Chain A
Amino acid sequence: QQQVKQSPQSLIVQKGGISIINCAYENTAFDYFPWYQQFPGKGPALLIAIRPDVSEKKEGRFTISFNKSAKQFSLHIMDSQPGDSATYFCAARGNRDDKIIFGKGTRLHILP
């Protein structure tokens, strides 16, 4: 049973455009929502993370939007660049849990 559902599976965006990746969850006990970025042949690396008491968090060109009532959160990449081409994973952790659960990932390709 997948607890974090991520879409789309793959995404192609023109350079300079906005990339949007969405995730939905069902467990209301989740209290930590990170996004990871993974380049080919490398391990995932934390990109940005948010708590459910915050509706939006921005770090440079990367923004997490969080909708607690809808149990959805999304990653927005502004002014997308070819160097952003990677696989992105949303994830979540329960408030009494030690482990992070991952979505299935989105392969993002930015056209030059």
Chain B
Amino acid sequence: NAGVTQTPKFRILKIGQSMTLQCTQDMNHNYMYWYRQDPGMGLKLIYYSVGAGITDKGEVPNGYNVSRSTTEDFPLRLELAAPSQTSVYFCASSLSIPTVNTEAFFGQGTRLTVV
């Protein structure tokens, strides 16, 4: 069972470079999320999607872009990387709105360093 798969696991970017963090899930989940985790700050929602073709901003969307062309994939694009984007990024998915009966599953994370 693959679940939620994120690639790459680690990446070092130079300031001003761009990259795409990949996220794919094989559970046929409609809802997908991107969070970033900074030490002592918990998880902050960047973008989310409730289905293919539908995306919406979270708490901290600036500097990022997303697309959802298929149910399985939800890539996160960083344009013009900045040191403030150094973080651990987590992708998550759920069948529908997370409830006591509908769990949200997280990937293993991508650790990104911008230098």
Contacts and interface: CB of A to CB of B under 8 A. Distances in A.
Interface of A: 6, 9, 32, 34, 41-46, 49-51, 89, 93, 97-105
B26 interface: no
Interface of B: 4, 31, 33, 35, 40-45, 48, 50, 56, 58-59, 90, 92, 97-100, 103-109
Nearest to A34: B98
Nearest to B48: A99
A111 B21 CA distance: 37
Given A98-B48, A104-B41, A105-B42, A50 B100 contact: yes
A104 B50 contact: no
A105 B97 CA distance: 22
A89 B43 CA distance: 9
Given A43-B109, A98-B50, A103 B42 contact: yes
A20 to B, nearest CB: 19
B97 to A, nearest CB: 6
A69 to B, nearest CB: 21
B110 to A, nearest CB: 10
A43 B103 CA distance: 14
21 contacts: A6-B42, A9-B40, A32-B99, A43-B106, A43-B109, A44-B106, A45-B106, A46-B105, A49-B99, A49-B100, A50-B100, A93-B97, A93-B98, A97-B97, A98-B48, A100-B104, A101-B45, A101-B59, A102-B35, A102-B43, A104-B40
